[in-house]
Structure 1
Amino acid sequence: MEFSALPKTSCGSFHQELAIPLVASVASACNAQGRRFRGARSPVLESFQIFLTTVPLPAASSSEDSFLWRANDLDLSYFSAKNTWSELRPRAPKHQYVSSVWFKGAIPRYAFTMWVSQLDRLSTRARLVKWGLGISSLCCLCDCFEENCDHLFLRCEVSEQLWDLVLIRLGYSLFAFHTWDAFMCWLSLRDTTSSILLCRIVALATIYSLWIERNNMFFNSVSTTPQAIFKRIDRHV
């Protein structure tokens, strides 16, 4: 056992303050009378030495040393990389939107755009203005309202026309998504009109296509009709 893995204090490492060589073994740090430490020179070292008094001194034994791994409150007789990784990197609670964004059959670039949209991290004009860019915050597609994710993907006149075509193709009566939460709620519902897998694939393709259309308009001043966008989505799906 070495002391090189002990955490450092503001005055230096433990092995320096305890006057123990960096590569010292347990045997060289204690003898029959006890542990060979000099007096503590900081509260941290004092607490450390008090803790060591609760640990029995190593004793000579004919049996081999044994070890015990403990991870996620489980005592293991073997090393588990999975349990150790889970202990070092605890997972946050699973969000409800995950199954609607990352699912078997999703096209990666579509899912990524959908995920960034869900997190509201796309570089819409509203966000660019907040970052200090001297540009208009109006939507690139309709030039009427502030361009944020809710407007661009759900309430813009271009996106509304596109969603009408998409929903009719899926077999639904016309309806509109007024908020992003309502849109994500629809993606988690199961009904007899269309399979939930198909709805999710089409939704991701629609969001991706609208973002591509927005970028074409923003960078190249090139626009496409909702009907042409829908034909491209229909072909891709």
Structure 2
Amino acid sequence: MDLVDLRSEEGLQLHAHLSTIAPPTSEAPDDFFEWSANGISSELYSSSRTWEVLRPRSDKKDWADLVWFKVSVLKHAFTMWVANLNRLPTRVRLASCGLQVPLTCCLCSTLEENCDHLLRTCDYSIIVWKLVLARLKPHHQMFQSWIRQSNASAPAVFRKLAAQAIVFQLWKQRNNILHNSEVRNTISAKKT
């Protein structure tokens, strides 16, 4: 139930309605408490049922197993999760919130910086992906199907870890350029 501003028309109507209700008398039956969640009433409070009403479950995302798995590095998994939700605070996203920021990509300084561009189609990102994927032999397949495959030279867990590390490092590089003016080119990244 939403809170009602008593100065609004809705608030005045609520006040008028409440003033028509007679106060309880000593002859009235005793009050009792009842908890209701999703139309199910009970005399006992259920925190789990209340949680389910407040935070309903959504469908499992098809990329969930690429983000959350047993041996993932937590900060890499978190960045990958936020990227999959398209919630990274890229320049385009910040501008859509009303901030006055330049829209150009921090890594290539040519196109608008959105999540897809920054992590997949930016010239800098493409070079990084190619350097890593060349060792994992992707065979030109869809990324999600490739990453789930497993073979002796590149098990699926290794592919997931590599993808998460790339996304994390690209985001970290973007932030280093933006906040610290530190640039590390892909050639020096290849040597280390």
Asked if these proteins are the same fold (TM beyond 0.5), I'd say yes
Residues 81 and 131 from structure 1, CA distance in 2 versus in 1: closer, same or farther, beyond 3 angstroms?
closer
Counterpart CA distance in 1 for 2:82 and 2:138 is: 29
Question: 2:59 is matched with which residue: 93, 97, 115?
Answer: 93
Structure 1 residue 210: deviation in Å? 0.4
Equivalent pair of 2:138/2:146 in contact (CA under 8 Å): no
Counterpart CA distance in 1 for 2:189 and 2:90 is: 20
Deviations 1:108-160 (A, max 9, x none): 21111111111222121222333334433111111121111111111111111
Structure 1 residue 220: deviation in Å? 2.1
Counterpart CA distance in 2 for 1:103 and 1:95 is: 14
1:54-73 map, 5 Å: none
Task: Give 1 or 2 for the bigger CA radius of gyration.
Answer: 1
- Is 1:190 equivalent to 2:149 in the alignment? yes
Deviations 1:185-208 (A, max 9, x none): 544x32435222111111111101
- Is 1:19 equivalent to 2:18 in the alignment? no
Residues 83 and 174 from structure 1, CA distance in 2 versus in 1: closer, same or farther, beyond 3 angstroms?
same
Counterpart CA distance in 1 for 2:53 and 2:98 is: 41
Q: Which residue of 2 aligns with 1:38?
A: none
Equivalent pair of 1:110/1:205 in contact (CA under 8 Å): yes
Q: Which residue of 1 aligns with 2:28?
A: 29
Structure 1 residue 104: deviation in Å? 1.4
Deviations 1:83-116 (A, max 9, x none): 5543554312222122211221122211111111
* Residue identity (%): 35
Extract unaligned runs of 5+ from structure 2: 1-12
Residues 168 and 94 from structure 1, CA distance in 2 versus in 1: closer, same or farther, beyond 3 angstroms?
same
Counterpart CA distance in 1 for 2:166 and 2:46 is: 43
Letter of the 1:94 partner, please give it: K
RCO (CA 8 Å, sep 6+): is it higher in 1 or 2? 2
Extract unaligned runs of 5+ from structure 1: 1-8, 32-68, 177-181, 233-237
Counterpart CA distance in 2 for 1:173 and 1:82 is: 44
Letter of the 1:10 partner, please give it: L
Structure 1 residue 215: deviation in Å? 0.9
1:104-143 map, 5 Å: 104-143=70-109
| TM-score, scaled relative to structure 2 | 0.70
Structure 1 residue 228: deviation in Å? 4.0
Counterpart CA distance in 2 for 1:186 and 1:12 is: 65
Counterpart CA distance in 2 for 1:174 and 1:165 is: 14
Q: Which residue of 2 aligns with 1:226?
A: 186
Aligned residues: 177
Looking at secondary structure, tell me which structure has more helix per residue: 2
Counterpart CA distance in 2 for 1:210 and 1:183 is: 17
Q: Which residue of 1 aligns with 2:8?
A: none
Counterpart CA distance in 2 for 1:84 and 1:223 is: 49
Residues 228 and 80 from structure 1, CA distance in 2 versus in 1: closer, same or farther, beyond 3 angstroms?
farther
1:45-60 map, 5 Å: none
Q: What is the RMSD computed on CA atoms of the aligned residues?
A: 3.7
| TM-score, scaled relative to structure 1 | 0.59
Residues 133 and 174 from structure 1, CA distance in 2 versus in 1: closer, same or farther, beyond 3 angstroms?
farther
Structure 1 residue 79: deviation in Å? 7.7
